[in-house]
């Protein structure tokens, strides 16, 4: 039977991969022009929400530093959703600014999830093995 810590590490690994995929999708969309960007951004908000919900559902995290980083990641993902919605309503320079902010928030969420993974690994390493 798998230990809870292993399940948490696996869940965090999947969450990190999903956050990285979200960031990649936004990066790819920003390389496109005009309507193609807007079409891709229609799914960004949904993907950000799905990653945020996955984080919220990862209740097995015991390490306080990891919990803090995950909460910060959720905050960035919520901002990503807001920014993506704003991009869809905007045009011109306002659109470009919203796209850049969406990308920055997605990048920050990936960073926070990676920091949470590192905190869990660090806590595991410093705990005496049973």
CA separation for the pair 118, 130 (Å, rounded): 21
Task: Give the chain's domains with CATH numbers.
Answer: 4-125 (1.20.120.660)
The whole-number pLDDT of residue 101 equals: 95
Over the stretch 91-129, which tens digit does the pLDDT of each residue have? 889 988 998 999 999 999 999 999 998 988 888 777 665
Cβ proximity of 63 and 16 under 8 Å: no
- pTM exceeding the 0.75 threshold for the entire prediction: yes
CA separation for the pair 83, 92 (Å, rounded): 15
The whole-number pLDDT of residue 111 equals: 96
The whole-number pLDDT of residue 76 equals: 96
Give me the residues of the chain with pLDDT under 50, please: 1
The whole-number pLDDT of residue 11 equals: 84
A 10 A CB-CB count for 89 gives 10
* Residues 6 or more apart in contact with residue 72 via CB below 8 angstroms: 112
């Amino acid at each position: 039977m798998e230990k809870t810590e292993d399940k948490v590490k696996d869940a965090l690994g999947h969450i990190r991969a999903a956050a990285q995929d979200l960031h990649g999708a936004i990066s790819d969309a920003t390389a496109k022009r005009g309507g193609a960007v807007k079409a891709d951004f229609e799914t960004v908000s949904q993907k950000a929400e799905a990653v945020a919900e996955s984080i919220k559902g990862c209740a097995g995290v015991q390490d306080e530093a990891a919990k803090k980083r995950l909460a910060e990641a959720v905050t960035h993902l919520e901002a990503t959703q807001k920014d993506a919605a704003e991009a869809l309503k905007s045009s011109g320079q306002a659109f470009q600014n919203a796209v850049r902010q969406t990308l920055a928030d997605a990048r920050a969420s990936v960073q926070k999830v990676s920091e949470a993974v590192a905190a869990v690994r660090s806590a595991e390493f410093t705990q005496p093995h049973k």
